[in-house]
Chain A
Amino acid sequence: MSSEVLPQRRTNSRGEVKMPFGRWFREKGWRHLVAVAAIVFSIFPLLYVLSAALDPSGTMVGSNALFSNLSFGNFTELFENQERPFGKWFVNTLVIGLITSALTVFLGALAAYAFSRMRFKGRRIGLLSLLLLQMFPQILTVVAIFLLLNFLGDIIPAIGLGSGLGLIMVYLGGALGVNTYLMYGFFNTVPQSLDESARIDGASHVQVFFRIILPLVTPILAVVGLLSFIGISSEFVIASVVLTDPDSQTLAVGLYSYVSEQRSENWGVFAAGAVLAALPVMALFLFLQRYITSGLTAGGVKG
């Protein structure tokens, strides 16, 4: 990396050849140094997890010698442990995450369409209430959620405590809110003349929504979907309260149980689980990075 950091001879943008080193460093060189420092800070914990996952000793002490011994023992142990079914956690997380984020996007888009395209009584107050409600995170009401699901489980066992379906419904309580707000802003950027002309051609409001608006706002749908998937797959509090049985748990709850006691003993297996849990999310994130960045800044800059 050092050849990348200190290239001795370069042409700068104005075409001046061989800038003196001092001046080059003041203008640009320090930026490379900063970059390298930031990258080391960023990735050394990640490299450490990877190394711990591959370390055959499986303990925390053993993992300190980075990448000195490599084996996949931790990974096989991860999948062989019957009491802590990692494979099931993975599937549960995927299922709950995918269903919830898909429905979140759909419910949010429906609401955003109404707010963006229709003028009705209570529209302003509706938007305001959404903004206010999202200030109060759901985890604050975790006790009430627990007791509510406990009660619902007596009536409909399928959505009681311990069921993924119940958890999904709880998460859907937050489907409107900041998501709708992001989408609403984006829906507004689609010119209204488009749906008006479709209307004149005889399209119903449903057709306008599905055939005209949704295809045009796909980027924001992808961003909201991805962000909510990432958020839900990391959600610990509500999931830990609702999903009590190891077979029904998600990665966040399950992997925490691995190290909640005896942190240093199970370290290698935990690290292996962490690597497997993180890789798909990180890959997806990097793949869709541009959209996420523009979604964040769009939401941010506009407030």
Chain B
Amino acid sequence: MSGVSATGTLGTASSQSPAKKPKKRQAPDSVLGTLMKIVLLGIVDAIAVYVLIQLASKHEWLIFGISLAVTLLINWIYLRRGGLPAKYLAPGVFFLLIFQVFVMLYSTYIAFTNYGDGHNSSKEDAITAIQLAAQERVPNSPQYAATVLEKSGTLYLLVTEPDGKAKLGTTGEVLQEVTPSTKSSTGQATGVDGYRTLEFTDLLQNQQAVTAVKAPISDNPADGSLATSDGSTAYVFAPKLKYDAAADTFTDTTTGAVYSDNGKGAFASADGQQLSTGWKIDVGFANFQRAFTDPNLSGPLWQVTLWTFAFAFLSVLTTFALGLFLAIAFNRADLRGKRIYRVLMILPYAFPAFLSGLVWSGLLNPEFGFINNALLGGADIPWLTDPWLAKFSVLLVNLWLGYPYMFLVCTGALQSLPEEVDEAARMDGASAWRIFRSIKLPLLLVSVAPLLISSFAFNFNNFNVIYMLTGGGPRFDGTTYDIGATDILITMVYKVAFGGTGRDYGLASALAIIIFIIVAVISTISFNKTKALEEIN
């Protein structure tokens, strides 16, 4: 560990010295260098052109403009003379800007929309989807002779119209006229080249898939589609909900109920009934408001926030205390077996973190787990299902995971403390405890404080240990969301966004923004406290 202090002093010494050097003439690039440059830039430009063409064909003009600007900028950076720092920084900054800065801004945007399940597209798409979803067989509609075909896993409907024309289509693919390869004696088309005709037994086995095939009659969803229930006759199915473009309303053809745009990204009837498919709109601060006022959310949110702080703080405290204690216990040059102790002790740190939570969830399993069944002789302690015990278990597992790191760090820090102070204090008659409390600990804290803060920040968003061990549970009572006693903010965000029960990207992003703000406040305070930035000059 002697290298530590050497590194530190050298680092500050040389970072202070340079700066004032005269402008140096750069040596010209070698031939190989120039060639490499041409090849690499060529590859980048080729990819850029491909992307630009794709964007143009999809009419994404805003993104097209941005991509073009970025491409030109990259070329300018590498083709011009000088501007050396930009050449070295550009690749990393490129990814940083897209996948860190941009996604942060994009999250902010999503937080102000109702993006999520049922609200993930434009209003036009929603209208089409509603018409497609609510289809019913049209009474007295004509019958078509039908055959079910299959091609690379997709089922197709081959229908013969009364006038003998054969048409082929499937869900999402409008019926197109085809020339059948085989016909039955009645003139019904039964096969098309390249497609496999389903036999009777196939039909029986795939009944559900067969009845689910709905081939649109035309591009206009209001015209309805053809579907078959038995694999041999098809009927016209038309939307149960009729869209009136002029009034911008849907009318239920069976009940007569009228659904109109409710201004919240969905069609709703006068008595508040809402159609399940909506579209994405800007909702302002509604998501934030929900987070703080919706009784389903606000109560749990406060509890989760409180626990997030408690979890992060207690994790740092316990791991640091145990790590420091062990570092002191082992900080003796003449301790036998020190090296083997050390290696065995840091094994949890080397074990992949996502596995630790899962392994401990097995150890602590109340019914079948090792701790209850083998260690405690068949006890019935609800380690993971009682709210307080689950919190305790999470902290215990995180202690197991984190103390080796603190041990390593404290060992390093202890060894860089000056010996003389220790000796002088001992001469003055100070006890070992007094020396530790009044001299060693303050000195140690100076050097490890930044690490404790970054460890706090890490645990604040320590997803793996929570999600793998308890999954956030046990669940709170009185909320429809899947939030529980050990959930921290980040697991809550993940479950709201990608959980089993309905995805709500808007709300999840709003929660993420709240975490952003908390993290920003903490960082500002801790930066001011530790002056960690002083080193940058």
Contact B4 A294 (CB under 8 A): yes
Which residues of chain A come closer than 8 Å to B368, judged between CB atoms? 59-61, 64, 264
Contact B512 A113 (CB under 8 A): no
Answer whether residue A9 sits at the interface, using C-beta atoms and an 8 A cutoff: no
Contact B95 A172 (CB under 8 A): yes
Which residue of A30, A124, A237, A300 is within 8 Å of B536 (Cβ)? A124
Answer whether residue A185 sits at the interface, using C-beta atoms and an 8 A cutoff: yes
Answer whether residue A18 sits at the interface, using C-beta atoms and an 8 A cutoff: no
Interface residues of A in 129-178 (CB under 8 A from B): 131-133, 135-148, 154-156, 169-170, 172-177
Measured CA separation A46–B343 after assembly (Å): 14
Contact A148 B106 (CB under 8 A): yes
Which residue of B7, B89, B333, B490 is within 8 Å of A114 (Cβ)? B89
Contact B464 A140 (CB under 8 A): no
Interface centre among A185, A203, A230 (most CB of B within 10 A): A185
Contact B330 A142 (CB under 8 A): no
Interface residues of A in 1-36 (CB under 8 A from B): 4, 7, 12-13, 28, 30-32, 34-35
Answer whether residue B58 sits at the interface, using C-beta atoms and an 8 A cutoff: yes
B203-211, B231-239, B344-352 - the one binding chain A: B344-352
Which residues of chain B come closer than 8 Å to A189, judged between CB atoms? 7, 10-11, 14
Which residues of chain A come closer than 8 Å to B363, judged between CB atoms? 45, 48
Main secondary structure of the interface of B (DSSP, over half): helix
Which residues of chain B come closer than 8 Å to A126, judged between CB atoms? 89
Measured CA separation A48–B85 after assembly (Å): 52
Measured CA separation A60–B58 after assembly (Å): 53
Answer whether residue B79 sits at the interface, using C-beta atoms and an 8 A cutoff: no
Which residues of chain A come closer than 8 Å to B341, judged between CB atoms? 35, 38-39
Which residue of B27, B96, B356, B516 is within 8 Å of A175 (Cβ)? B96
Contact A119 B19 (CB under 8 A): yes
Nearest A residue (CB) for B36:
A206
Contact B11 A302 (CB under 8 A): yes
Contact B413 A278 (CB under 8 A): no
Q: Interface readout for A50-75 with B: 1 if CB under 8 Å, 0 if not?
A: 00100000011101111000000000
Answer whether residue A204 sits at the interface, using C-beta atoms and an 8 A cutoff: yes
Which of under 10, 10 to 19, 20 to 34, or 35 or more describes the interface residues of B? 35 or more
**With A264-B368, A300-B448 in contact, do A289 and B96 touch (Cβ < 8 Å)?**
no
Contact A156 B54 (CB under 8 A): yes
Which residues of chain A come closer than 8 Å to B405, judged between CB atoms? 296
Contact A147 B110 (CB under 8 A): yes
Nearest B residue (CB) for A202:
B27
Contact A12 B354 (CB under 8 A): no
B134-142, B288-296, B492-500 - the one binding chain A: B492-500
Which residues of chain A come closer than 8 Å to B450, judged between CB atoms? 300, 303
Nearest A residue (CB) for B3:
A294
Which residue of A107, A113, A156, A289 is within 8 Å of B95 (Cβ)? A107
Nearest B residue (CB) for A152:
B51
Answer whether residue B184 sits at the interface, using C-beta atoms and an 8 A cutoff: no
Contact B490 A140 (CB under 8 A): yes
Which residue of A4, A136, A204 is within 8 Å of B519 (Cβ)? A136
Contact A205 B4 (CB under 8 A): no
Nearest A residue (CB) for B534:
A303
Which of under 10, 10 to 19, 20 to 34, or 35 or more describes the interface residues of A? 35 or more
Which residues of chain A come closer than 8 Å to B333, judged between CB atoms? 13
* Whole-angstrom distance between the Cβ of A101 and the nearest chain B Cβ: 14
**With A131-B533, A186-B7 in contact, do A233 and B523 touch (Cβ < 8 Å)?**
no
**With A48-B359, A144-B106 in contact, do A42 and B400 touch (Cβ < 8 Å)?**
yes
Answer whether residue B118 sits at the interface, using C-beta atoms and an 8 A cutoff: no
B97-105, B218-226, B258-266, B476-484 - the one binding chain A: B97-105
Contact B92 A108 (CB under 8 A): yes
Nearest A residue (CB) for B6:
A189
**With A43-B344, A263-B362 in contact, do A236 and B463 touch (Cβ < 8 Å)?**
yes
**With A278-B351, A296-B409 in contact, do A133 and B55 touch (Cβ < 8 Å)?**
no
Nearest A residue (CB) for B18:
A192
Contact B505 A119 (CB under 8 A): no
Contact B359 A31 (CB under 8 A): no
Contact B110 A234 (CB under 8 A): no
**With A35-B330, A206-B29 in contact, do A139 and B463 touch (Cβ < 8 Å)?**
yes
Measured CA separation A185–B532 after assembly (Å): 13
**With A52-B362, A192-B17, A286-B343 in contact, do A133 and B352 touch (Cβ < 8 Å)?**
no
Contact A289 B88 (CB under 8 A): no
* Whole-angstrom distance between the Cβ of A298 and the nearest chain B Cβ: 5
Which residue of A39, A65, A139 is within 8 Å of B345 (Cβ)? A39
Answer whether residue B412 sits at the interface, using C-beta atoms and an 8 A cutoff: yes
Interface centre among B55, B350, B490 (most CB of A within 10 A): B350
Answer whether residue B468 sits at the interface, using C-beta atoms and an 8 A cutoff: yes
Measured CA separation A84–B232 after assembly (Å): 38
**With A264-B365, A301-B413 in contact, do A234 and B347 touch (Cβ < 8 Å)?**
no
Q: Interface readout for A263-303 with B: 1 if CB under 8 Å, 0 if not?
A: 11001001100100110011001100100011011101111
Contact A237 B494 (CB under 8 A): yes
Which residues of chain B come closer than 8 Å to A206, judged between CB atoms? 29, 33
Which residues of chain A come closer than 8 Å to B493, judged between CB atoms? 140, 142-143
* Whole-angstrom distance between the Cβ of A113 and the nearest chain B Cβ: 6
**With A128-B536, A140-B107 in contact, do A300 and B359 touch (Cβ < 8 Å)?**
no
Contact A297 B409 (CB under 8 A): yes
Which residues of chain A come closer than 8 Å to B246, judged between CB atoms? none
Nearest B residue (CB) for A203:
B27
- Given pairs A48-B362, A303-B450, 19 additional interface contacts (CB within 8 A): A12-B334, A31-B332, A34-B329, A42-B404, A43-B344, A110-B91, A124-B537, A136-B516, A141-B512, A174-B96, A190-B14, A206-B33, A240-B498, A277-B352, A294-B3, A296-B408, A296-B409, A297-B4, A297-B413
Cβ-closest 5 pairs across A and B: A173-B99, A297-B412, A285-B350, A114-B88, A60-B368
8 residue pairs of the A-B complex, CB under 8 angstroms, read: A110-B91, A126-B89, A169-B99, A170-B99, A192-B18, A207-B33, A236-B354, A300-B450
The chain A residues found within 8 Å of chain B, CB to CB, are 4, 7, 12-13, 28, 30-32, 34-35, 38-39, 41-43, 45-46, 48-49, 52, 59-61, 63-66, 107-108, 110-111, 113-114, 116, 118-120, 123-124, 126-128, 131-133, 135-148, 154-156, 169-170, 172-177, 180, 185-186, 188-192, 199, 202-207, 230, 233-234, 236-237, 240-241, 251-252, 255-256, 259, 263-264, 267, 270-271, 274, 277-278, 281-282, 285-286, 289, 293-294, 296-298, 300-303
